[in-house]
Amino acid sequence: MIDRFNRRIEYVRVSLTDRCNLRCRYCMPESGVTKLAHSEILTYEEVLRVIRLLARLGIKKVRLTGGEPLIRMGIVDLIRSIKNLDGIERVVMTTNGVRLASMAEQLIDAGLDGINLSLDTLDGKIFQAISRRDCFDRVLEGLNKILSLGMRDVKLNCVPLAEINDDVDDLIELIRDRDVKLRFIELMPIGLARDFKGLPLSTLRDRIEQKFGRLMPIDSTEAQAGPAKYFRLNGFVGAIGFIDALEDKFCSTCNRVRLTAEGFLKLCLSAPAGLDVKRLMRGGLDDEQLMLRLSSAIYNKPLEHAFDGAIELNDRRRMYQVGG
Ligand code: SAM
Ligand code: SF4
């Protein structure tokens, strides 16, 4: 559907859980996390109902995220069911990859179309320092597994933090011979991330060019469909993308909404605005009424994020509660 700023909204990011098996320092505290009770998160029946109605409003692509989506039981069957919904063309996932090696075959068999794997570094010690867990080898195994199974849409997401994982040469070498998109995401000032300094992506681009040569823009519509701007390095099979949410606001082409694990339809990553879909569903709204509420909420999606504005304008939810 089209919102009041003439943007076509066709993508929903669905967070399946606020729980996670890592504790990345910029995302989630080590302890003291109040987990949502099972009764507070949407059941799969409720998730499917919302996606089915969103599909009737023009949503075509679904991304499953979290917390860590692969720790929610029954996700393989959920993927299969979403794939069967009329109007849904692609189901993809963002994962930390810890459970990927053991689940890859089932996920692909269920119809998962693509995976964004979060990988901030290829240095096991730095990985552990950031994520507070000793899981680096398992994540790498997961990556190798999906590539060996022939999954085509594989993207690696790295959030470079100044003086922590700002040496990305190994990650770049990884895509020399692999058809994978390596994306650098600017750290957004959400929750714990405010205590960290993201490496400016303009600095990163300069460093990459000094070491690896010119970054040549890729102009294809497919490559430019999302917020990332993609480039190629001479002699490399994989592409490099940059998502500069702050340096280069892309809100005018935003095509997405988000559904949190507790059933809140978030209209913008930064803004608190949205719709308490769970309350409406559990209050007994029928499909037609619910669809009207969903479409009016989406129509009123905010114009742009307020990460560069006053902190009070921003949502208090943390990244693991929203899903990125
Ligand atoms: N647990 C899964 C994972 O890590 O891929 C999915 C959820 S996680 C919140 C989704 C993505 O958000 C990860 O790639 C993570 O690096 C990114 N992220 C978390 N906090 C961020 C922040 N403040 N700014 C930018 N990206 C962030
Ligand atoms: Fe977990 Fe993903 Fe947040 Fe890391 S970024 S703590 S893996 S939700």
Walk me through the domains of the chain, giving residue ranges and CATH numbers.
11-322 (3.20.20.70)
Instruction: Point out the ligand 1 atom lying closest to the alpha carbon of residue 189.
Output: 23
Beta strands in 261-319, from DSSP E residues, in sequence order: 264-266, 274-276
d(CA 272, CA 267): 8
d(CA 34, CA 257): 25
Is 51 near ligand 2, meaning CB less than 6 Å away?
no
d(CA 200, CA 89): 35
Between the CA of 273 and the centroid of ligand 1 the distance, in Å, is 21
C-beta separation of 3 from 9 below 8 A = yes
- Which of 157, 181, 186, 317 is the pocket-test mutation for ligand 1 (most atoms within 8 Å of CB)? 157
Is 23 near ligand 2, meaning CB less than 6 Å away?
yes
As a dihedral over the C-alpha atoms of residue 232, residue 233, residue 236, residue 241, rounded to 10 degrees, the angle is -40
Beta strand 239-243 with 229-233: parallel, antiparallel or unpaired? antiparallel
Enumerate residues 6+ apart whose C-beta is below 8 A from 84.
Answer: none
Alpha carbon of residue 41 to chain centroid: 19
- pLDDT score, position 66: 94
Is 68 near ligand 1, meaning CB less than 6 Å away?
yes
- pLDDT score, position 33: 85
Give the model confidence (pLDDT) of 114-170 as tens digits. 999 999 999 999 999 999 999 999 999 999 999 999 999 999 999 999 999 999 999
- pLDDT score, position 245: 72
Enumerate residues 6+ apart whose C-beta is below 8 A from 133.
Answer: 21, 22, 23, 98
How many C-beta atoms surround the C-beta of residue 187 within 10 A?
Answer: 20
127: helix, strand or coil:
helix
Burial of 53 (C-beta count, 10 Å sphere; 0-12/13-18/19+): buried
C-beta separation of 11 from 59 below 8 A = yes
Alpha carbon of residue 49 to chain centroid: 21
Beta strand 264-266 with 274-276: parallel, antiparallel or unpaired? antiparallel
SS3 content of the chain, % helix, strand, coil (to 5): 35, 20, 45
Q: Which of 162, 158, 153, 161 is nearest to 170 (CA)?
A: 158
The whole-model pTM stands at 0.95
- Number of alpha helices (DSSP H) and beta strands (DSSP E) in the chain: 10, 12
Between the CA of 26 and the centroid of ligand 1 the distance, in Å, is 9
d(CA 118, CA 41): 24
Gyration radius (Cα) of the chain, Å? 19
- pLDDT score, position 226: 78
How many C-beta atoms surround the C-beta of residue 182 within 10 A?
Answer: 22
Instruction: Point out the ligand 2 atom lying closest to the alpha carbon of residue 323.
Output: 8
Percent of the chain clearing pLDDT 90 (strictly above): 82
Percent of the chain clearing pLDDT 70 (strictly above): 95
Counting as low any pLDDT under 70, the low residues of the chain are 220-225, 247-248, 308-316
25: helix, strand or coil:
coil
Note the ligand closest to the C-alpha atom of 133: 2
Between the CA of 321 and the centroid of ligand 2 the distance, in Å, is 10
Instruction: Point out the ligand 2 atom lying closest to the alpha carbon of residue 28.
Output: 6
Residue 311 has which token pair? 């902190």
Is 27 near ligand 1, meaning CB less than 6 Å away?
yes
- pLDDT score, position 219: 79
117: helix, strand or coil:
strand
Is 198 near ligand 2, meaning CB less than 6 Å away?
no
Between the CA of 94 and the centroid of ligand 1 the distance, in Å, is 9
Give the model confidence (pLDDT) of 253-290 as tens digits. 899 999 999 999 999 988 888 999 999 999 999 999 99
- pLDDT score, position 134: 97
Residue 124 has which token pair? 């096991």
- Which of 143, 185, 260 is the pocket-test mutation for ligand 1 (most atoms within 8 Å of CB)? 185
Note the ligand closest to the C-alpha atom of 258: 1
Beta strands in the chain, from DSSP E residues, in sequence order: 11-15, 61-65, 90-95, 114-118, 153-158, 181-185, 215-217, 229-233, 239-243, 256-259, 264-266, 274-276
